[in-house]
Amino acid sequence: MNKVRIGIAGYGNLGRGVELAVAQNDDMELVGVFTRRDPASVKTAAGAKVYSMDDAASMADDIDVMIICGGSATDLPKQTPELAKIFNVIDSFDTHARIPEHFANVDKAAKESGHLAFISLGWDPGLFSLNRLYAESILPNGKTYTFWGKGVSQGHSDAIRRVEGVKRGIQYTVPIESAMEAVRSGSQPDLTTRQKHLRECWVVAEEGADLAKIEESIKNMKNYFDEYDTTVNFISEEEFDAVHNKMPHGGFVMRSGMTGDGEKTHQMIEYSLKLESNPEFTASVLICYARALARLKAEGATGCKTAFDIAPAYLSPLSAEELRSKML
């Protein structure tokens, strides 16, 4: 079987992760990275070739799957439908509330041009969504909980950095252990936002900045911190660079359900991720779905799909026989 030829659109942390993930899969090969920047200015981690995004269309025949590594706020709503006119595409669009609209736009573009598109892949949305679906289908009488962390929230870190007097800043979302234990007990608690997660901030202040004011500004910030218990820790730039230079993340999907006579039997399903690198893991998910995309496309599929629509066997390099004998 021919290798799946991958293109990467956009080269930040996620694009870099995809480049490295391709190298871990013998049945994939990387054609190149496509950037809106000057290609000469982009240095890739493993020596991938860099092209201008303007040249992508001319290479359509060389690429089986274009993995779009832009941001969900402004890049993907525009890029994914545009690129789906030219390529089979995969993205990690993660603005949950806007998924139906994004799906419709991508589905239209892909169907009209005869391409196949997978959206909203990664771990949430993605693997966490799959676990919510499996668990809720199996245990219809129950309650689902999602906890995130401990991990870096890019959006909240950005928000900290916009506060006056902040030179460097990072925010960790921390799931509250006692809340998770309450869920595991089967009591199906109603948990407020504040009861589920803490927000832990690490800040390097500008020289002479008013630390008390920075702390208050962060803690009271609407939509970001005001509904949470938040800690703000001031540290030196040296410590910041030494300790807070990674992008760990993770979380938990839990389903507490009841079965049996009188629905009195407690059944607990729990899925968790502990990731040293959020973008590298997300990239690994995207790449294994690229394998599924190539196979489904070969069967004639077009339009937009999500993780829900893809039978698990398509993700593995093993044959159906091998899967049944080794993994079932």
Nearer to a copy of itself, 24 or 236 (CB): 24
Nearer to a copy of itself, 182 or 313 (CB): 313
Give min distance, CB of 152 to a copy of itself, in A.
Answer: 14
Nearer to a copy of itself, 103 or 145 (CB): 103
Q: What are the helix (H) ranges across 139-176?
A: 154-161
Nearer to a copy of itself, 20 or 30 (CB): 20
Q: Do the beta carbons of residue 246 and residue 276 sit within 8 Å?
A: yes
**Interface of this chain with a copy of itself, residues 195 to 254, rule: CB under 8 A:** 250
Q: C-alpha distances in angstroms, 80 versus 24, 67, 71, 104, 130?
A: 25, 9, 11, 11, 22
Q: Give the integer Cα–Cα distance in Å for 268 and 260.
A: 14
Q: Give the pair of three-digit tokens for residue 299.
A: 């069967």
Give min distance, CB of 54 to a copy of itself, in A.
Answer: 29
Total binding residues toward a copy of itself, as defined by CB under 8 A: 71
Q: Give the pair of three-digit tokens for residue 193.
A: 């936002």
Give min distance, CB of 305 to a copy of itself, in A.
Answer: 9
**Pattern of binders to a copy of itself over 244-273, x per CB under 8 A?**
------x------x-xxx-x-xxxxxxxxx
Q: Do the beta carbons of residue 287 and residue 21 sit within 8 Å?
A: yes
Q: Do the beta carbons of residue 307 and residue 136 sit within 8 Å?
A: no
**Interface of this chain with a copy of itself, residues 269 to 328, rule: CB under 8 A:** 269-277, 280-281, 283-285, 288, 291, 306-313, 315-317, 320-321, 323-325, 327-328
**Interface of this chain with a copy of itself, residues 13 to 42, rule: CB under 8 A:** 17, 20-21, 24-25
Q: Give the pair of three-digit tokens for residue 25.
A: 């899969």
Question: Binding residue for a copy of itself (CB under 8 A) from 132, 156, 168, 196?
Answer: 132
Q: C-alpha distances in angstroms, 71 versus 30, 154, 296?
A: 21, 11, 26
Stretch that binds a copy of itself, among 95-103, 156-164, 175-183, 226-234 (CB under 8 A): 95-103
Nearer to a copy of itself, 197 or 305 (CB): 305
Nearer to a copy of itself, 260 or 300 (CB): 260
Judged by CB under 8 A, does residue 61 bind a copy of itself? no
β-bridge partners, 17? none
Q: What 8-state DSSP symbol labels residue 23?
A: T
Q: What's 170-192 look like in SS3?
A: EEEEEECHHHHHHHHCCCCCCCC
Strand order in the sheet with 28-35: 50-52, 28-35, 4-9, 65-68, 89-91, 116-118, 303-305
β-bridge partners, 171? 201
Give min distance, CB of 173 to a copy of itself, in A.
Answer: 18
Q: Give the integer Cα–Cα distance in Å for 183 and 192.
A: 13
Nearer to a copy of itself, 148 or 225 (CB): 148
SS3 of residue 15 by DSSP: helix
Nearer to a copy of itself, 234 or 314 (CB): 314
Stretch that binds a copy of itself, among 120-128, 154-162, 171-179, 210-218 (CB under 8 A): 120-128
